[in-house]
Amino acid sequence: MEVVAVPSLPKQTHRYIAADEVINSLLDLRPEKWGLPPFQDWIEGTLPSEPWYIGGPVVKGLGRGSKVLGIPTANLSTEGYSDVLSEHPSGVYFGWAGLSTRGVYKMVMSIGWNPYFDNAEKTIEPWLLHEFDEDFYDEELHLVIVGYIRPEANFPSLETLIAKIHEDRKVAERALDLPLYSKYRDDPYLKITSSKGQ
């Protein structure tokens, strides 16, 4: 028997060295690696899911996105989302982002501990695929997440991490033009009517 382990606790890979492979979640199971027929639900490098929803004001992160990677991520607080986040494994996802007063944009994000930086806290880091000429801290950001791309990973260098995130961006940009994903651009959750009466 060949064994694929899916630890229920994060950062515990070292406890499973006896397994043939340790994966982060069942989203990463590749039956063809084990002589079984492949799953057929992957489309152009993405795994579609029922849409799920996260939103709130944009909070300060660790100030690393723009400065260290040149990739700004409009962090959301994980507070109040423990249920949603425990239903969805850490990893790289994509979907649509609605910003109050601005519009709806394509989005690619990571959820997790950023293995390259080994964060102590789980973070939600959406990169809106649009050039903004200013910050938008405290603005309401609503996300409709429609698919999965890959698990979070560690990288041998900052350059290889950055290159991978740009590849994720391309995968997400292309996929979001498919009818399967583009239809969620019209989800009412993205059209935020601010509670502050703006």
Question: Which residues are known catalytic residues?
Answer: 125
End-to-end CA distance of the chain: give it in Å, rounded: 60
Which residues, other chains included, contact 2 with Cβ-Cβ below 8 Å and sequence gap of 6+? 20, 34
99 belongs to the binding site for ligand ADP (CB under 6 A): no
Integer Cα distance of 52 and 91 in angstroms:
14
Name which position in 7, 45, 48, 61 contacts ligand RBF (CB under 6 A): 61
Among 28, 139, 152, 187, binds ligand RBF (CB under 6 A): 152
Please tell me whether residue 68 adopts helix, strand or coil conformation.
helix
Residue range at the interface with ligand ADP (CB under 6 A); choices 6-14, 59-67, 157-165, 169-177: 59-67
User: Under the criterion CB under 6 A, does residue 163 sit at the interface with ligand RBF?
Assistant: no
Give, in degrees to the nearest 5, the angle at Cα 116 between 125 and 3. Answer: 100
Q: Which is nearer to ligand RBF, 48 or 61 (CB)?
A: 61
Q: From the list 22, 23, 74, 190, which residue makes contact with ligand ADP (rule: CB under 6 A)?
A: 74
Assess 46 for contact with ligand RBF (CB under 6 A). Answer: no
Among residues 46 and 110, whose Cβ is nearest to ligand ADP? 110
Tokens of 182: 């583009």
Q: Which residue is nearest to ligand RBF (CB)?
A: 116
Helix (H) or strand (E) holding 169: helix 158-175
Asked if residue 99 lies in contact with residue 141, where contact means CB atoms within 8 angstroms, the answer is yes
Task: Report the nearest approach of ligand ADP to the CB of residue 138 (Å).
Answer: 9
d(CA 126, CA 191): 17
- Binding at 136: pick from Mg ion, ligand RBF, ligand ADP, none (beta carbon under 5-8 Å per type): ligand ADP
C-alpha separations of 169 from 27, 41, 48, 111, 137 in Å = 19, 20, 16, 15, 22
The answer to whether the CB of 19 falls within 8 A of the CB of 5 is yes
In the list 125, 143, 148, 190, the residue contacting ligand RBF (rule: CB under 6 A) is: 125
Contact residues for ligand ADP (CB under 6 A)?
A: 58, 60-67, 72-75, 127-128, 130, 132, 135-137
Contact residues for ligand RBF (CB under 6 A)?
A: 61-62, 64-65, 69, 71, 73, 92, 108-110, 114-117, 125, 127, 152-153, 161, 165, 168
